[in-house]
Each structure stands twice: as structure tokens, then as C-alpha cells.
Structure 1
Amino acid sequence: MQIVKYVFQQHGDERGQLVALEEHKDIPFEIKRVYYMYDTGKGVTRGQHAHKSLEQILICIHGSCKLMLDNGKEKKIVSLEKPYEGLYISNNIWREMYDFSSDAVLMVLASDVYKEEDYIRNYDEFLKFVNMK
């Protein structure tokens, strides 16, 4: 399963901390879309889909959350709780984000613009898709 946790370089002094991210340097792809989620209610699960070709970096820039990642053969649970850590998720990985702290802000850097045809939103269809490869 191609999942990598990155620790981004931090620059800090008495004024606070700064993390700068550059495509093809800190992020292994060209960034074409950025979005974030916040005010996620207690007990809510987000995601519940996979992408056919999209790559992503997820960064919990405030608070914490957990991710369940599944490549069709194995599942992993990963926690995100540091604003200088990012989780790379390649394509063909089912993802579910859950256990959001009340103050969580989860930012996603994506390798392409939104394309509905890239989503696999049904788990059984996901299993068929990854087993055909």
C-alpha cells in the first residue's frame, strides 16, 4: 500500500511556526486543487471513496483525526495530529476519515481538479476495480 507520512520542514522563532509546501519538492505532484473540512460533527465519517488516478496529501492543520486506508488487500489506521505532518495517499486506496476532534481542520492537496468520474463511491465496486489490476 503506497501511503507515506511526510514530516514537513518547520521554520520557527519567537513569532511562531511556518510550514511552506512546494509541489515536486515537498509534495510529490503538481497541486491542482486545495480544499479543507472543518466543524465535522461527532461520530461523522468523511471520505468513504477511492480515486482511480488522483493522488492526495492530507494534513490535519488543526486538531486531529484518524484515517482508515484500504488497498483491497490490507487496511491501515493512521492518525493525523500534527500540522507539520502530511499523509500521502496514492490512487486506488479506499479512505475513510473519522474521529475528528471538535477543532479539527483537515486540508487536502490534490493532484487534479474535481472530476466525478475519478471517484469510486461503492466499496464493492472498489474491490472489483483494484482486483482487475
Structure 2
Amino acid sequence: MKTIENGIIKDRPTVFDCGLYTLEKNHEPEGNLTFVYNDVHVPFDVKRVFYSYDIPGGESRGAHAHKECHQFLIAASGSFEVALDDGVNKRTVLLNRPFYGLHVPPGVWAAEQGFSSGSICLVLASEGYSEDDYIRNYDEYLEYIKIQNNG
């Protein structure tokens, strides 16, 4: 998470800190099972779980950053891409298997896009819901990370 810009050490996360995890998959004749434990399979303690579904094919969701909340995104069904942006670098990650999870640390802009029909986006979050934790405007996000870098 530490980066050096113009000789100054920065402590904010980048898109390269967004890790793709392969979760354990138990294969049984009657179907597969994947489980998740706090601080074992995800790098934080899960305090909230939510999921998006019935998203029309090709639509987008998200497009925000968090100040404190870590998120772990899983394509529980179907597929979608997560466009990541740290204000300097951009990266896109495809989630298309229910045993892959993407950790998005706070301070990284993320947008889910290109949903296949019938997709379910499962999100494990490190914090309960707080509107104050969201940065929903991209220009405000760029100002926020600028302040974080200089603070």
C-alpha cells in the first residue's frame, strides 16, 4: 500500500492492493460448497453482508469509494467486471466463478459493470452501512485522495 510519488511516501491503497482470492471449493456429487470465515478467507472481520440481483444484463452498479469500509465481492451467480481506479491507475477484474472473491480496500474507486443476465453480486463488508463512508462523486473522490496524500 505504500507508494512513492515525487519522492514522497504515500500510504493510500492502489488498484494493485485489490486482491483476487480463490476460495475453497468442496466438490460433492450433489453439488459444490464454498464457505467463508472472518479473517481467514477474507482479510477483515465481516460486519455486513448484502447482495445485488435482478440487475438487467449489461447494466452497471457501484461507482463509488469508501473511506473506511473494506469490501469483498463475489459473483455468486453469473458474471460481471469490477472497474478499479485509484486516481492514477486503472484495472478491471472479471468475476465469473462463485469461488473467486475480490478484496477492495477503502480508498479505491470501484464500479461493477457488464452484468450477465441473472447475476448475483454478493458483498461482504467490514463495516455496517454509513452514508458518510461513501464517496459517490468521482471529482470529490479525486479531491479526497489528494487530501489523503497531503495529510
TM-score by length of 2: 0.86
Match in the other structure for 2:52: 37
Question: Aligned to 1:108, which of 106, 116, 123?
Answer: 123
**Matches of 2:125 and 2:32 in 1, distance apart?**
24
Residue 27 of structure 1 and its aligned partner are, at CA, apart by 1.1
Residue 42 of structure 1 and its aligned partner are, at CA, apart by 3.1
Match in the other structure for 2:112: 97
**Unmatched 5+ residue regions in structure 2?**
1-13
**Matches of 2:31 and 2:62 in 1, distance apart?**
32
Match in the other structure for 2:76: 61
Query: 1:51-105 deviations in whole A, cap 9, x for unaligned?
Result: 0010010000110001110011111111000000000000011111110000110
**Matches of 1:115 and 1:72 in 2, distance apart?**
23
Question: Aligned to 1:82, which of 92, 97, 100?
Answer: 97
The runs of 4+ residues in structure 1 deviating greater than 6 Å are none
**Number of residue pairs matched?**
133
**Unmatched 5+ residue regions in structure 1?**
none
Residue 43 of structure 1 and its aligned partner are, at CA, apart by 3.6
**Matches of 2:95 and 2:21 in 1, distance apart?**
11
**Matches of 1:123 and 1:83 in 2, distance apart?**
29
**Matches of 1:11 and 1:48 in 2, distance apart?**
33
Letter in 2 for 1:85: Y
Question: Aligned to 2:32, which of 17, 37, 40?
Answer: 17
**Matches of 1:45 and 1:106 in 2, distance apart?**
11
Residue 12 of structure 1 and its aligned partner are, at CA, apart by 1.3
Residue 48 of structure 1 and its aligned partner are, at CA, apart by 1.2
Q: SS of 2:19's equivalent?
A: strand
